Amino acid sequence: MNLPNGRAESEPSALQELQTLVDSYLGPEGRLLGASKAFRYRDEQHRLAKTILDCLAQRQSLIAEAGTGIGKTFAYLIPAMTAGVKIVISTASKTLQDQLYNRDLPQLAEFLGRPVNVARLKGRSNYVCAHRLNRALGGQIGFTLPEQSLLHQLVEFSRVSPDGDLSSFDPISRHPSLIPSVTSTMENCLGHRCAYISECAVMKARETAMEASIVIVNHHLLCSSLRLLQDQDVELLPTPQAYIIDEAHSFLDIASDQFTQTVSSQSITTLARDLLAAGQLLAAHQADWPSLAAELDRAAQSLRLAAQPLGLGRFGWPETSSQIHSSLATSLLELKAAVHRLSSVFAGITTEDPELQRVQDRLHDLSARVEPFEPKMTSLEEAYVLWLEQNSYGVSLHRSPLSLAEALAPVLQSSATPWLFLSATLSLGGRSEAPFQYFKDRLGLHHAREGLFESPFNYQEQGLLVIPKNLPDPKSPDHIKSLLRMPELKRLLGELDGGVFILCTSLRAVGLAATELRTHCDGLVQDRPLLVQGERSREAMLSLFREHGNAILIGSASFWEGVDVPGQALSMVLIDKLPFAPPDDPVLKARIHQCERTGGSGFRDIQCPEALLSLKQGVGRLIRTEHDRGVCLLADRRLVQMGYGRKMLSALPKFMQTDSLSEASAFIRRST
């Protein structure tokens, strides 16, 4: 029975009937027990599912921490399938999206004998663009022979593919540089002016999503659509009656990125290239396109040169010199002048070709994006953080909201649509009286219902948490080298039959650890693969790690979360130190400054909560099933010596705890 308009109060028995239905699926004698040998009844999963269904019925938002192993995915999918309302489910990545769409939902529909109308929607760069594919085919001189062959294979793929999603076209993974030539971006998409609009995979995917009862997206697309809806009143996604945000711990950082306004030298260079190509092809004799493109390219080069003295990294405006400010302001004026001259040229162009018109639209958009930066070179807006980043690709200027809660307020606070945020790491836990307060404050969702759903794992039996005595100083730049030279640690690593994650808090530490293991620990790595972040793709490293079963993987931030390696293949997680974010990050620094200006403590109120949530993610890699056993080594004595460290320790899973590496060796022997 469906909930009419999602309101249980209009028909009180509707919610009760649906709760009974959920009981029949997930209860102690539920249908899933008979449908799947792998399924186990979990009281917390059952309770979470009923809470979610109740929130959907009451149009009430929810913030819930669902401990590892309770079966969070089925706990929200079953209510989503049965509530009878349109729901958008957002995940942290395209990989998780595909897992939901290709595995979890079909499997659940089969188990329950309950078909579901589901659609998957990704960003446009994931779909073959018929216009750009045909243009690439017409100019094959720029492609290698294997790439030309691939273009023709893509034509056939486009004919037979139901959705044009490139994740279903394996050969493209071997030629990733070809993807921009056969997909569109928001900048170069011709929209309704495109001659291939009837074949557009993006439009077809959106049309399918409009008809579906469950739409699966990722956080990047969701946040991008929220930003577009606010700024331009453009809807990329269908309007649902509820949002379910899975892996919600990553939602805030992704939202912050999507709500940041950016001008980059690389995007200006790309625009100059597209301007030249479109102009020469479609209006060759109406303007001096090489000169105009070169002028735009010089403006991009001027921006790069203005920022060059800073070196690589991220820099806030207060930390940059007046000379840099002046150089950047001059470069932006040059850019605005080039855009103005181009706009004048376009006013006299007679062709109405949609591709050239789209270039004109992009020039107008660039002018609008530059506008907030130029007057702000020497002053700050209180609501925004102005900063720049310089890397090997060029320089980019950013304007980020200081308060994400204010940026999200129009959709979270003024809407009757419930938002359900779920993750294994949302609370500060431990001794915290208000475990979700930090997440709620950042999100600005203060009226939400809260729930803590404990993991079913027996952490006391399954894992050992080790914080050894006599550890090197975590503030030392060579901390990881000193750590890996400890004889007892070398011995412990040598006794392990399974694999090891060495999770570092910086890429520099990753490099130092790799060098140390390769040059001073030959005995540890001669019989097991050493996988180092940056030497292979993340997916390739994880695949090899699972395959070998005794590898050592060294990684930083991207390996702290979203990694699932059950069994002996991951027997030890070593974390080099507490994952405090660099305090010189411009956005973090501005948030700390604002916090302290209003009487708070930046360290206590921002840095510690952020570090704890990251630490919980890292520690959570170890135990993934009720049969896993392993050791988690935290190489930072601040966890037992400092008050803030002890609070963090109390919020971690309740492992057995020791400071003895000898006891860790004994635990390993008992586990094998």
Tens-digit pLDDT profile for residues 460-491: 999 999 999 999 999 999 999 999 999 999 88
Task: Give the position of tokens 């990694």.
Answer: 563
The single-letter DSSP state of residue 11 is: S
pLDDT value, residue 109: 92
Q: Which residues pair with 466 in a beta bridge?
A: 633, 658
pLDDT value, residue 2: 53
* DSSP codes, 72-132: HHHHHHHHHHHS-S-EEEEESSHHHHHHIIIIIHHHHHHHHT----EEE---GGGB--HHH
Low-confidence ranges of the chain (pLDDT < 50): 1, 3-10, 378
Q: Output the six-digit token pair for 176.
A: 């990733």
- Considering only the C-alpha atoms of the chain, give the largest distance between any 2 of them, rounded to a whole number of Å: 81
Strands (E), 308-347: 313-316
Q: Output the six-digit token pair for 312.
A: 């690589």
Distances (CA, A) of 617 to 330, 474, 498, 560, 611: 45, 20, 21, 6, 10
Q: Output the six-digit token pair for 356.
A: 């050239």
Burial 44-79 (b: 16+ CB within 10 A, else e): bbbbbbbbbbbbbbbbbbbbbbbbbbbbbbbbbbbb
pLDDT value, residue 5: 46
The set of residues, in sequence order, having a beta carbon less than 8 Å from that of 201 and lying 6+ positions away, is: 127, 128, 129, 130, 158, 161, 163, 164, 165
The full set of domain ranges for the chain reads 261-401, 459-671
Burial 204-242 (b: 16+ CB within 10 A, else e): ebbebbeebbbbbbbbbbbbbbbbbbeeeeeebbbebbb
Is there a common fold for 261-401 and 459-671? no
* 62-66 vs 449-453, strand pairing mode: parallel
* 552-555 vs 394-401, strand pairing mode: unpaired
Angle between the N-to-C axes of helices 12-26 and 72-82, in degrees from 0 to 180, rounded to the nearest 10: 140
CA angle 596–598–599, rounded 5-degree value: 65
pLDDT one-digit tens code per residue, 634-654: 999 999 999 999 999 999 999
Q: How far apart (Å, rounded) are the C-alpha atoms in residues 658 and 293?
A: 65
Q: How far apart (Å, rounded) are the C-alpha atoms in residues 260 and 372?
A: 12
Do residues 496 and 464 touch, judged by C-beta distance below 8 A? no
The set of residues, in sequence order, having a beta carbon less than 8 Å from that of 412 and lying 6+ positions away, is: 61, 419, 443, 444, 445
Do residues 82 and 53 touch, judged by C-beta distance below 8 A? yes
* DSSP codes, 594-632: HHHHTT--HIIIIIHHHHHHHHHHHHTTS--STT--EEE
Neighbours of 19 (CB within 10 A): 18
Q: Which helix (H) or strand (E) holds 394?
A: strand 394-401
Please, what sign has the CA dihedral across residues 416, 422, 425, 430?
Answer: positive
Q: How far apart (Å, rounded) are the C-alpha atoms in residues 643 and 442?
A: 24
Residue 384 backbone dihedrals phi, psi, to 5 degrees: -130, 155
pLDDT value, residue 381: 61
Q: How far apart (Å, rounded) are the C-alpha atoms in residues 88 and 5?
A: 16
Angle between the N-to-C axes of helices 404-412 and 219-232, in degrees from 0 to 180, rounded to the nearest 10: 80
Task: Give the position of tokens 């990553």.
Answer: 250
Q: How far apart (Å, rounded) are the C-alpha atoms in residues 402 and 594?
A: 9
| Cα dihedral: 345, 351, 353, 359 (round 10) | 0
Distances (CA, A) of 509 to 486, 524, 525, 552, 554: 16, 19, 18, 15, 9
The set of residues, in sequence order, having a beta carbon less than 8 Å from that of 604 and lying 6+ positions away, is: 644
The superfamily in CATH containing domain 459-671 is P-loop containing nucleotide triphosphate hydrolases (3.40.50.300)
Do residues 469 and 522 touch, judged by C-beta distance below 8 A? no
Domain formed by 261-401, architecture:
Up-down Bundle (1.20)
The set of residues, in sequence order, having a beta carbon less than 8 Å from that of 670 and lying 6+ positions away, is: none
